[in-house]
Structure 1
Amino acid sequence: MEQLPTPPGERAARTTHASPEAPVHASPGASYTATATVSDQGVVTGWSEEARRLLGYASSEVVGRPAADLLADRSDRSGGPAGSGGTGPAARPVAPGQERWSGTVPLRHRDGRRLDSALLAHRRATLGEAAEWFVVSAVTGAPDASWEGPLGEWAFDRSPCAMAVFDEDLRLVRANAGMHRALSLTEAEMRGLRLSEIAPDPVSEETERGMRRVLETGEPQAVDGFVRPPGAGSAHGWATSLAPVPGPDGRVRAVYLSAQDRPAGDAAPRQPLPPTLAGARVDTPPDNARTAQELADAAVPRLADFAVVDLLEPSARGETPTPGSGPLTVSRSAVRSVLGGSQEARFAVGDRAVYPALSPPVECLAAGRGAVYGTADPAVARWVAQDPGAGWIGEHGTHSMMLVPLRDGRVTLGLALFSRQQGREPFDLEDLRLAEELTARAATAIHRARRTVREHTTTMTLQRSLLPHTLPAQSALEIASRYLPSGGEAGVGGDWFDVIPLSGARVALVVGDVVGHGMRASATMGRLRTAVRTLADVDLPPDELLTHLDDLIIHLAADETGGETAGGIGTTCLYVVYDPVTRRCTAARAGHPPPAVVSPEGSAYLLDVPAGPPLGLGGLPFETIEVDLPEGSLLALYTDGLLQTREHDIDEALDGMLAALIRPASSLDTVCDRVLTAMLTHRPDDDVALVVARTRALHTDKVAVWDLPSDPSFVAQARRNATDQLAAWGLEEAAFVTELVVSELVTNAIRYGSPPVQLRLIHEGTTLISEVSDSSGTAPHMRRARIFDEGGRGLLLVAQLTQRWGTRHTLVGKTIWAEQSLVDF
Structure 2
Amino acid sequence: MNESDAAKDGRDRPASSADSPAVITVDGDGIVTAWSTGAVRLLGYAADEVVGRPVGDLLADRDAAPGDGALHRARDGWVGELILRHADRRRVTLSARRYALSRPGDDGSCLLMLAWTDEAAASSPALHDEVAILDWLLKASPVALTVYDTDLQCVGQNVAMSRMVGMPQQERLGRQITDVLAGPDAERWERRMQQVLRTGIPAESFIVRGRTPADPDHDHVFSADASLLRDRDGRLLGVCATVHDVTAQHLYRERLAILNEASTRIGSTLDVGTTAQELAGVAVPRLADFVSVDLLEPLLRGEEPGPVTGGAVLRRMAHKSIHDGAPEAVVRQGEIDIYPWHSPPARCLLAGVPVLLRAMDPHIESWFADDPVRAARAKTYAFHSWLLVPVRARGTTLGVTVFCRSRNEPFEQEDLVLAEEIVTRAAISLDNARRFTRERTASLVLQRSLLPQQLPRQSAVEAACRYLPTSSQSGVGGDWFDVIPLSGARVALVVGDVAGHGLHASASMSRLRTAVRTLADVDLPPDELLTQLDDLLSHLAATEGTDPAETPVQDTWATCTYMVYDPVSRRCSIASAGHPPPVLLAPDGVATLLDVMVGPPLGLGGLPFETTELRVPEGSEIALYTDGLIESPTADIDDGLRRLKDAFARPAPSPDARCDAVLEALLPGPPADDVALLIARTRALHEDKVAAVEVPGDPAAVSGTRSWVMDRLEAWGLTDMGFVTELVVSELVTNAIRYGAAPVHLRLIKDTALICEVSDASSTAPHLRRARVFDEGGRGLLLVAQLTQRWGTRHSRRGKTIWCEQPLNVATEPP
Shorter chain as normaliser: what TM range?
A: 0.5 to 0.7
For residue 266 of structure 1, what is the aligned residue in structure 2?
none
- Secondary structure of 2:298's counterpart equals coil
Q: Is the 8 Å Cα contact of residues 761 and 768 (structure 1) preserved in structure 2?
A: no
Does residue 321 (structure 1) correspond to residue 305 (structure 2)? The answer is yes
Does residue 777 (structure 1) correspond to residue 763 (structure 2)? The answer is yes
**Aligned counterpart in structure 2 of residue 520 of structure 1, from 489, 504, 508:** 504
Q: Is the 8 Å Cα contact of residues 320 and 412 (structure 1) preserved in structure 2?
A: no
Does residue 574 (structure 1) correspond to residue 561 (structure 2)? The answer is yes
- Any idea what the Cα deviations from partners look like across 1:40-80, whole Å, max 9, x if unmatched? xxxxxxxxxxxxxxxxxxxxxxxxxxxxxxxxxxxxxxxxx
For residue 767 of structure 1, what is the aligned residue in structure 2?
753
- Secondary structure of 2:297's counterpart equals coil
- Any idea what the Cα deviations from partners look like across 1:280-309, whole Å, max 9, x if unmatched? 557265565565466457557765787654
For residue 505 of structure 2, what is the amino acid of its counterpart? Answer: A
For residue 728 of structure 1, what is the aligned residue in structure 2?
715
Rg larger in structure: 2
Displacement, 1:743? 1.9
Q: Would the alpha carbon gap of residues 553 and 328 (structure 1) be closer, same or farther in structure 2, given more than 3 Å must change? A: same
Q: Would the alpha carbon gap of residues 427 and 675 (structure 1) be closer, same or farther in structure 2, given more than 3 Å must change? A: closer
For residue 682 of structure 2, what is the aligned residue in structure 1?
695
For residue 532 of structure 1, what is the amino acid of its counterpart? Answer: V
For residue 505 of structure 1, what is the amino acid of its counterpart? Answer: A
For residue 794 of structure 1, what is the aligned residue in structure 2?
780
For residue 721 of structure 2, what is the amino acid of its counterpart? Answer: A
Determine the C-alpha separation between the residues in 1 that align with 2:631 and 2:666.
9
Displacement, 1:444? 2.8
For residue 278 of structure 1, what is the amino acid of its counterpart? Answer: L
For residue 477 of structure 1, what is the aligned residue in structure 2?
461
Q: Would the alpha carbon gap of residues 792 and 369 (structure 1) be closer, same or farther in structure 2, given more than 3 Å must change? A: farther
Determine the C-alpha separation between the residues in 2 that align with 1:275 and 1:800.
81
Count of residues in correspondence between the two structures: 552
For residue 535 of structure 1, what is the aligned residue in structure 2?
519
Displacement, 1:580? 2.4
Displacement, 1:347? 6.7
Q: Would the alpha carbon gap of residues 304 and 315 (structure 1) be closer, same or farther in structure 2, given more than 3 Å must change? A: closer
- Identical positions, percent: 55
**Aligned counterpart in structure 2 of residue 278 of structure 1, from 254, 259, 268:** 259
Q: Is the 8 Å Cα contact of residues 356 and 387 (structure 1) preserved in structure 2?
A: no
Determine the C-alpha separation between the residues in 2 that align with 1:599 and 1:343.
56
Does residue 807 (structure 1) correspond to residue 793 (structure 2)? The answer is yes
Displacement, 1:449? 3.8
Q: Is the 8 Å Cα contact of residues 553 and 569 (structure 1) preserved in structure 2?
A: yes
Determine the C-alpha separation between the residues in 1 that align with 2:778 and 2:412.
92
Determine the C-alpha separation between the residues in 2 that align with 1:725 and 1:586.
30
For residue 746 of structure 2, what is the amino acid of its counterpart? Answer: R
Q: Would the alpha carbon gap of residues 280 and 389 (structure 1) be closer, same or farther in structure 2, given more than 3 Å must change? A: farther
Determine the C-alpha separation between the residues in 1 that align with 2:617 and 2:373.
77
Q: CA RMSD in A?
A: 4.4
For residue 730 of structure 1, what is the amino acid of its counterpart? Answer: G
Q: Would the alpha carbon gap of residues 647 and 818 (structure 1) be closer, same or farther in structure 2, given more than 3 Å must change? A: same
Q: Would the alpha carbon gap of residues 334 and 809 (structure 1) be closer, same or farther in structure 2, given more than 3 Å must change? A: closer
Q: Is the 8 Å Cα contact of residues 645 and 680 (structure 1) preserved in structure 2?
A: no
For residue 809 of structure 2, what is the amino acid of its counterpart? Answer: V
**Which of 801-810 and 286-295 deviates more?**
286-295
- Any idea what the Cα deviations from partners look like across 1:776-808, whole Å, max 9, x if unmatched? 333333344455555444333322322211111
Alignment of 1:268-667 (within 5 A): 274-275=255-256, 277-278=258-259, 281=262, 283=266, 288=272, 291-292=275-276, 295=279, 309-314=293-298, 318-323=302-307, 327-333=311-317, 344=328, 350-356=335-341, 365=349, 368-370=352-354, 403-417=388-402, 427-428=412-413, 430-488=414-472, 490-557=474-541, 558-559=543-544, 569-599=556-586, 605-645=592-632, 649-658=636-645, 661=648, 667=654
Displacement, 1:616? 0.7
Determine the C-alpha separation between the residues in 2 that align with 1:332 and 1:655.
43
Q: Is the 8 Å Cα contact of residues 467 and 496 (structure 1) preserved in structure 2?
A: yes
**TM-score normalised per structure 2:** 0.58
- Secondary structure of 1:274's counterpart equals helix
For residue 823 of structure 1, what is the aligned residue in structure 2?
809
Determine the C-alpha separation between the residues in 2 that align with 1:674 and 1:765.
31
Q: Would the alpha carbon gap of residues 415 and 537 (structure 1) be closer, same or farther in structure 2, given more than 3 Å must change? A: same
Q: Is the 8 Å Cα contact of residues 539 and 808 (structure 1) preserved in structure 2?
A: yes
For residue 737 of structure 1, what is the aligned residue in structure 2?
724
Displacement, 1:703? 2.6
Determine the C-alpha separation between the residues in 1 that align with 2:423 and 2:750.
68
Q: Would the alpha carbon gap of residues 363 and 553 (structure 1) be closer, same or farther in structure 2, given more than 3 Å must change? A: farther
Whichever structure has more helix as a proportion of its residues is 2
Alignment of 1:698-713 (within 5 A): 698-713=685-700
- Secondary structure of 1:314's counterpart equals helix
Q: Where does structure 1 lack aligned partners over 5 or more consecutive residues?
A: 1-270
Determine the C-alpha separation between the residues in 2 that align with 1:529 and 1:341.
50
Q: Is the 8 Å Cα contact of residues 458 and 752 (structure 2) preserved in structure 1?
A: no
Determine the C-alpha separation between the residues in 1 that align with 2:326 and 2:572.
73
- Any idea what the Cα deviations from partners look like across 1:8-47, whole Å, max 9, x if unmatched? xxxxxxxxxxxxxxxxxxxxxxxxxxxxxxxxxxxxxxxx
Q: Would the alpha carbon gap of residues 456 and 384 (structure 1) be closer, same or farther in structure 2, given more than 3 Å must change? A: same
**Which of 712-721 and 798-807 deviates more?**
712-721
Determine the C-alpha separation between the residues in 2 that align with 1:708 and 1:547.
35
Displacement, 1:727? 2.0
**Aligned counterpart in structure 1 of residue 733 of structure 2, from 732, 741, 746:** 746
Q: Is the 8 Å Cα contact of residues 349 and 390 (structure 2) preserved in structure 1?
A: yes
Determine the C-alpha separation between the residues in 1 that align with 2:723 and 2:478.
48
**Which of 794-803 and 307-316 deviates more?**
307-316
Determine the C-alpha separation between the residues in 1 that align with 2:659 and 2:374.
59
Q: Is the 8 Å Cα contact of residues 312 and 320 (structure 1) preserved in structure 2?
A: no
Determine the C-alpha separation between the residues in 2 that align with 1:706 and 1:388.
86
Determine the C-alpha separation between the residues in 1 that align with 2:411 and 2:661.
65
For residue 446 of structure 1, what is the amino acid of its counterpart? Answer: L
For residue 445 of structure 1, what is the amino acid of its counterpart? Answer: S
Determine the C-alpha separation between the residues in 1 that align with 2:628 and 2:332.
43
Q: Is the 8 Å Cα contact of residues 693 and 747 (structure 2) preserved in structure 1?
A: no
Q: Would the alpha carbon gap of residues 520 and 344 (structure 1) be closer, same or farther in structure 2, given more than 3 Å must change? A: same
Q: Would the alpha carbon gap of residues 672 and 431 (structure 1) be closer, same or farther in structure 2, given more than 3 Å must change? A: closer
Q: Would the alpha carbon gap of residues 565 and 589 (structure 1) be closer, same or farther in structure 2, given more than 3 Å must change? A: farther
Displacement, 1:659? 5.2
Determine the C-alpha separation between the residues in 2 that align with 1:622 and 1:718.
40
**Which of 285-294 and 510-519 deviates more?**
285-294
For residue 577 of structure 1, what is the amino acid of its counterpart? Answer: V
